[in-house]
Chains A and B, each alone.
Chain A
Amino acid sequence: MSAEKRFEIFRLFFSILIALLVSFALIFLVSKQPVAAIMALITGPFKSGRNLANVVEAMIPLIFTGTGVCIMFAANQINLASEGAFHLGGLVAAAFALKLALPAGLAPAVCLILAAAAGALFTALPAILKIKTGASEMVASLMINYLSLWFCTFILMHFILDPAAGAASYSLPKTAKLLTLFSGTRIHFGLIIALVVAVLGHVFLYQSKMGYELRIAGSNKQFAEYSGIDIVKVILISQLVGGAVAGLGGGVEILSPIYSRFTWTSLLGYGWDAIVICTLAKKDPLKTPLAALFLAYLRTGASIMARTTDVTLEVVQITQGVIILLAVAEQFLSKTKHRIIAREAKAALQKEEAA
């Protein structure tokens, strides 16, 4: 491993450490029982098997959106529509699960494929708009997220609403639900799909010709053009694939044992979390499960903390914000980086002289 890579890992961990310290300081400021709160945050997930299972459950949607964003960002497209794609994927899977009476086994597969297709078309919208009109894909993606939210709420309220259940759809049929992997928990088959998606995402991005072209187009557009890469095609494919993964994630989440009805009436924030995951995983889908595990652990700890002490869940969002700020700050610890690289170079030089 090169000195530079080692430094990157060191900086990542240092950023996480600082972010945690900032959160602890905040907890000390706002809480009357800070030590209990911090203990709940850090050790809570380990306290019981159920809590540990919660961590794994929380990990699953994060792996999907994280992988999706890795693929979209690798093409240097700041497309933030994974949030809306996840939401739409959930709605599509729920709506078709309710409307199509398919046999068990086939039903979840069909619903998930439709969810992925919806997600793909959705995130492709800003990309198409960019290609056809030159409109900023970032701004467009921010707008369509809200369109997705209100469209899904519209369908929920007017087509699949159970009048007896408040703002929720009819109960999703058992035949369409994903199987539970371990009895006594809600860890479901979606975990396997998520891990497969992360591996396939890695293969696509780092071991296929298309993935190579995509990364070249992302890192140096001019060079890609000169080497004859069809940039428009590559960008479009990256957004389609990324959106499909995010939409699939939404579908998996709503068909999981965690939900029994479609109840999403506000954006859930998985798209923004995905950016944290993508930052931590350095745009490599293979590392997203690890990053998702970290975030899910923090989340679960925070919700235990919120249940048992006077500190709210939202502390975690601040932790996430600080991690992003520091982890992508190129100049953060740049002197240390310089020192490490200089030391390495000196050692190499001495070795050469000795030989």
Chain B
Amino acid sequence: MLRLFFSPDFVIAILRATTPILFATLAAGVAAKAGICNMALEGIMLFSALFGVMFSHMTGSWLIALLLTCVCGGVIGLILAFFILNLKTDEILAAIAINLTATGGTVLLLLAFSGDRGSSTFSTVSAPAVGGVNVMTALALLMVAVMHLFLYKTPLGLQIRSVGENKNSAESVGIKSIRIQYIALILSGILCACGGYFLSGGYMNSFTKNMQSGRGFIALAASEMGANTPIGGFAVAMLFGIAQAVGNQLQLTSIPVELIQMIPYATTLIGLAVFSYIVRKRKEKLAKG
């Protein structure tokens, strides 16, 4: 058992489980840096998982399917931004609406597209793996570095952060906050779409109804624990990857499967509480000193 946990296969299993959460965590991070809590990640991920298999079935190419899925993810981000920023819908309620639409919409769309109910049975092309590591996993790791450079080394990244820190002072130096928040939410949608795409085109090789199963929500927590930075988010997403991979291994033991299923959510909850507590204590210390 222990030997299993230290094998290279297990490291690959961790990376595999981390990948979708990592994409969504980066997505949550960029939205949060612009001052918006993107709870619609759950719905965007679900939509993207379905779009991924549909596009790869239609085009026969995983890459074109990925690109098209990213476009769709960006469009959902745009719609979310329109409601939050232009129509002044509460961001949480708008996200809940998108998540509800995704739950129903994916079933409807799958049925109309293929006549399948619940899961896809048509042929799809998944993202290939090189040396046991999926291309999407590599892309996710690359995106951590890209998002870090983007947020901290480019003018647009600075503008996103300043809008999130203080909208009014950003406006006072001539930054169009609405435009910046639009960009952040579209980016968030695209990143999340990559995670959704991987769920049905690499992690699994078909679409199943509600297959995101809370990963979008976990990503929100992961991003918050990582102080919404790409690198912090990566570390926390990795922690969940480990929790999930350990859980998958434990399913082979006699421990009840229901308890194992709790592991990722319990890890998130405890991690979030500990992290928030440390942040609060640090703030109190700073306030005193």
Contact = CB atoms under 8 A, between A and B. Distances in A.
Interface of A: 26, 29-30, 78, 129, 132-136, 138-140, 142-144, 146-147, 150-151, 153-154, 157-158, 269, 272, 275-276, 279, 312, 314-318, 320-325, 328-332
A44 to B, nearest CB: 18
Contacts of B258: 150-151, 153-154, 157-158
Given A321-B97, A325-B98, 17 more contacts: A129-B272, A133-B276, A133-B277, A139-B217, A139-B268, A142-B221, A143-B214, A143-B266, A146-B262, A147-B265, A147-B266, A153-B261, A314-B108, A324-B94, A325-B93, A329-B88, A329-B89
A174 to B, nearest CB: 29
Nearest to A323: B97
Interface string B36-77: 010100000000000000000000000000000000000000
A80 B108 CA distance: 26
Given A136-B272, A147-B269, A315-B104, A325 B279 contact: no
Q: Which 4 A-B pairs have the closest CB atoms?
A: A317-B104, A321-B101, A314-B104, A329-B87
Contact of B112 (A30, A147, A317, A329): A30
Nearest to A319: B104
B93 A324 contact: yes
Interface size class of B (residues with CB under 8 A): 35 or more
A interface secondary structure, majority: helix
A143 B265 contact: yes
Taking each of B37, B98, B101, B221, which has the highest tally of chain A beta carbons within 10 Å of its own beta carbon? B101
Contacts, number: 147
B256 A154 contact: yes
A322 to B, nearest CB: 7
Interface string B256-289: 1011011001101100111111011000000000
A140 B280 contact: no
B40 to A, nearest CB: 11
Contact of A321 (B88, B104, B269): B104
Contacts of B221: 139, 142-143
Contacts of A279: 93
Contacts of B259: 150, 154
Nearest to B93: A328
Given A134-B280, A317-B104, A139 B97 contact: no
